[in-house]
Amino acid sequence: MFQRSFLLILIVSFLSCSQKKNQIQNFGSLNEVLDCMTLNGLQLKYGSDNVINYTSWVIGDDTLRGSIIFPNSKKQAFVYFHDGNIVDVTIKGESADWKTNSGLFLGMTLTEVQSINAKNFTLSGFNWSHGGSVVSWEGGKLTGDSTLSHLAVFSNVSNEHQGISDDAYKLISGEVEFDVRHPDIQKLNPKLDLISLVIPKIPTKSEGKKIGSRIQQSQVPN
């Protein structure tokens, strides 16, 4: 009887480990979507049947146009183009079968992301259209450069705030910025529900002059 029970435990443990291994293997590299470079590249890598072209979606206050790969599945991702080239890939929701090369995936807690960044970072307040957005990685490992930026948003679903009072939640809400070491944010420990990998747009010389001119014209005279 003991031997049979021990064997059953071993089988259950093996199956559990196998399932965990498969879950890890199911993650695709979000960076590889950017590497496709163009719509044609997306279709070649992921198959034309898995790509919806020239569509739009809403994120926060913004309506964006581009492509969606693997729509209505755990691998759904939103792809935005500029001048025909992929410049942004975004995943959102409670979970998805994507992971960035830096180690981010949907559903990670704020403290887990702190560990990856290896430094504290700054968030916008909660409970508004851009609530829980990372304002700055403060020079940590997730800080972007001229080739790639990480954008991320943390959400406590439906603005539930178990563990802290209504008054405490109000104090970390709204269009203000907070260091993630704030005690109530640490207690809330919200989860990642949006990740974007973005190739920064570097303006051409002529575009730079136009931007400079607009800024100069908008200045209040001394």
In a domain, 49, yes or no: yes
Burial status of residue 167 (CB atoms within 10 A of its CB: 0-12, 13-18, 19 or more): exposed
In a domain, 64, yes or no: yes
pLDDT digits (tens, 9 = 90+) for 95-135: 999 999 999 999 999 999 999 999 999 999 999 888 999 99
What pLDDT, on a 0 to 100 scale, did the predictor assign at position 7? 46
Token look-up 């450069």 returns 145
What pTM did the predictor assign? Answer: 0.78
Domain count, the chain: 1
In a domain, 6, yes or no: no
Q: How confident is the model at residue 210 (pLDDT cuts 50, 70, 90)?
A: very low
Query: How many residues would you count in the chain?
Result: 222
Three-point CA angle 95, 100, 106, nearest 5°: 20
Q: Which two tokens stand for residue 199?
A: 């190739």
CATH number at residue 140: 2.60.460
In a domain, 181, yes or no: yes
In a domain, 22, yes or no: no
Token look-up 């931007």 returns 211
Torsions phi, psi for 123 (to 5 deg)? -120, 155
Q: Which two tokens stand for residue 92?
A: 């959102």
**Bridge partner list, 51:** 69
Q: Which two tokens stand for residue 178?
A: 């907070």
